[in-house]
Amino acid sequence: MALNKKTTIIAALGALILPVAAKDHAVEAPAEAASSCDGLSGLYGIGYSSGNFSASDGSEGDADGYTLGLRLNVTEDTEVFFLYQDYDGGDFNEATAILRKSYDLIEGFTTRAGIGYGTQSVDGSVASNAIVGEVAIGTEIAGIGISLTYDHNFVLDSEVNDDFATMHLVGIYPLSDSMNLWAAYEWQVSGDTLVEKDDTTSIGIGIRF
């Protein structure tokens, strides 16, 4: 429990200025580096996360944790994305699985839409299960891929969480053919929840396979 909101925002902006993006801008691995899993390809990542949270009773606090991600390519423009975030040793965690499809609708930008399932837990108990809808737009600036994603959680069964939505600003910079550095800034934009993500920052490494 380390960063206040101002520090978190500064850290997020600083991380995006560093070589830090989105799958549409990752460097393609050479053929000889292809996975041995009969064509299965994608990316997995791990990172450190820290942020500010507020509870429905008005209390506020900081928390540190980690983020795990896995992307599996289905076709050239379709993927399955898994994300798991854990804060304070399991006191707050989220897991999401999304089926995404990319579209070239605007020159110089990539747009994406997806649908999936997400769950949020607080103090070891499930706070909500939800159908998750996602839309995103991404581009590349000076070799750094940047994407902005909006996801909306349509809560199915919860006594403590209403429908809620979050924004994700992500940057990725390829360090090599098989590795990149990524940073993300996330904040909850709507909805009454037992615990609200006021803002969180993550930074880590992604590895292609």
CB count in 10 Å sphere of residue 95:
15
Q: Among 32-36, 90-94, 167-171, 177-181, whose mean pLDDT is lowest?
A: 32-36
Residue 137 pLDDT class (50, 70, 90 cuts) = very high
**Chain mean pLDDT for the chain:** 85
Beta bridge partners of 133: 115, 152
Span 54-79, pLDDT tens digits:
998 889 999 999 999 999 999 999 99
Q: What pTM does this model have?
A: 0.80
Under 8 Å between Cβ of 24 and 101: no
Span 142-172, pLDDT tens digits:
999 999 999 999 999 899 999 999 999 999 9
pLDDT score of 39: 63
Q: CATH fold of 5-208, please?
A: Porin (2.40.160)
Place of tokens 């928390």: 63
Q: Is residue 124's pLDDT more than 60?
A: yes
Q: Is residue 188's pLDDT more than 60?
A: yes
Nearest Cα to Cα of residue 23 among 204, 126, 172, 194:
172
Residue 38 phi, psi dihedral angles, 5° rounding: 50, 50
CB count in 10 Å sphere of residue 55:
13
Biggest CA–CA distance in the chain, Å, is: 56
Q: Is residue 183's pLDDT more than 80?
A: yes
Span 2-14, pLDDT tens digits:
334 433 443 433 4
Structure-token pair, residue 78: 């379709």
pLDDT score of 12: 39
Under 8 Å between Cβ of 135 and 152: no
**Cα–Cα distance measured from residue 30 to residue 178, given in angstroms and rounded to the nearest whole number:** 9
pLDDT score of 15: 37
Q: How confident is the model over 92-107, as a mean pLDDT?
A: 95
